[in-house]
Amino acid sequence: MLATTYRRPRTMRIAHVAEPEIEHPNDAIVRVTRSCICGSDIHIYNGLVPDTRVGSIIGHEFTGVVEEVGPSVRNLKVGDRVLVPFNIFCGSCFYCQKELYGNCQNTNSQASAVGGFYGYTHTAGGYDGGQAEYVRVPFADVGPAVIPDDIHIEDAVLLTDAFPTGYQAAEMGSINEGDTVVVFGAGPVGLFAAKSAWFFGAGRVIVVDCEDYRLEFAKTFAHCETVNFREIDDMATHLKKMTDWLGADVCIDAVGCDASGSAFHSFTGKIAMMQAGSPIALHWAINSARKGGRISIVGVYGPTFNMIPIGNAVNKGLTLRMNQASVKRHLPRLIEHIRAGHISPRDIITHRIPLEEVADAYDIFVNKRDNCIKPVLIPPSAHGAV
């Protein structure tokens, strides 16, 4: 089969690899119908995620059709259309019982923090990912969700990570009615966070980025105000000026370790690797929030240290919340929003690219060519699936 494989920093290649097989009675084999390139994949692409091994199959956002199930699988059958959350979780451990599916104890037992993810290096368990024609899906009775007949496949693929992550970013902000919410990053997750902020009662939403085309897209998709950080001298001062000199009630970091905006943090975090990526978006979030405000972090950072102004957070009395999204927990509510016409997730898809052209797809997405917001990969195994 064809699959996207990591070769070295800034090099992804399509390769012919062996098709996956059932390895455990509760496995399923899924034929991929759609997969996405995620902003988190760019961290891998840029060499910022530890223990990324040559030949690893990448990708954690995918839908598909069940081709085979193990003898213990009861909740899926061959032919089911499924969306597969990026979290791999057992459903029964201490954390899964609390619906903290991104922290499952049994799918990445050698780690002290994160659970197992598809296609996200050995830091997240070393599982093969979904930018491929077929995927082995462990714990098939608890992870995948059958796609309702009235949900479009391209909405479904965005329910595997990007939309739930943006929604949880807003949820973790504990937004009160009328709050001012600032979202750092106008990528797919930031767009969904901004859109979701309205669902929780925000009175004002501001999105910060440096790409004019992304900011224009944010205005249309999320009906928000925008700030281009390249046009201002000091982020905290600018945002406080916009908020009666108080600061935002809620700041959301939807960027993570690839953030631009500080030469110092870009050099120390992305070139010299002296810290786990560039934390400038987190600096801006902490310094731009009002006293007693809330910080929500869904941008990806490495497991080693970052230089952040934690003293400012303490002295301002900020509440910081963060985690990987618990996708399965959010699905019923997000499907309600889609059915009610509150949101059409697939509106953010700008590029539909054959899996065979994945190297070009990464180049377009990473370098923000052709006004790219979100690329979807279509494998030859999709067979016209809708």
pLDDT-above-70 percentage for the chain: 99
Per the rule left: phi > 0, alpha: psi between -120 and 50, beta: everything else, 109 is: alpha
Enumerate the domain spans of the chain: 2-161+326-382, 163-322
pLDDT digits (tens, 9 = 90+) for 5-34: 999 999 999 999 999 999 999 999 999 999
What's the confidence (pLDDT) of residue 186? 98
Contacts of 85 (CB under 8 A, 6+ apart): 101, 143, 144, 145, 160, 161, 164, 327, 328, 331
Does residue 385 have a pLDDT over 70?
Answer: no
HSE-CB for 342 with a 13 A CA cutoff: 16
Contacts of 62 (CB under 8 A, 6+ apart): 30, 32, 33, 34, 35, 36, 84, 118, 129, 130, 131, 135, 157, 160
What superfamily in CATH does domain 2-161+326-382 come from?
Medium-chain alcohol dehydrogenases, catalytic domain (3.90.180.10)
**In this predicted model, which residue has the larger pLDDT, 363 or 273?**
363
Does residue 132 have a pLDDT over 70?
Answer: yes
Overall average pLDDT of the 284-291 stretch: 98
C-alpha to C-alpha distance for 299 and 281, rounded to whole angstroms: 9
pLDDT band for 327, please (50, 70, 90 cuts): very high
Q: Is 373 helix (H, G, I), strand (E, B) or coil?
A: coil
Q: Is 234 helix (H, G, I), strand (E, B) or coil?
A: coil
HSE-CB for 50 with a 13 A CA cutoff: 13
Does residue 112 have a pLDDT over 70?
Answer: yes
pLDDT band for 109, please (50, 70, 90 cuts): confident
pLDDT-above-90 percentage for the chain: 91
**In this predicted model, which residue has the larger pLDDT, 301 or 189?**
189
C-alpha to C-alpha distance for 257 and 226, rounded to whole angstroms: 21
Name the phi and psi angles at 118, rounded to 5: -70, 135
Does residue 352 have a pLDDT over 90?
Answer: yes
This prediction's pTM: 0.97
pLDDT band for 244, please (50, 70, 90 cuts): very high
Instruction: Tell me the sheet residues that pair with 24.
Output: none
Q: Are 56 and 120 in contact (CB under 8 A)?
A: no
pLDDT digits (tens, 9 = 90+) for 92-108: 999 999 999 999 999 99
C-alpha to C-alpha distance for 340 and 229, rounded to whole angstroms: 35
pLDDT band for 64, please (50, 70, 90 cuts): very high
Architecture of domain 163-322: 3-Layer(aba) Sandwich (3.40)
pLDDT digits (tens, 9 = 90+) for 140-186: 999 999 999 999 999 999 999 999 999 999 999 999 999 999 999 99
Does residue 384 have a pLDDT over 70?
Answer: no
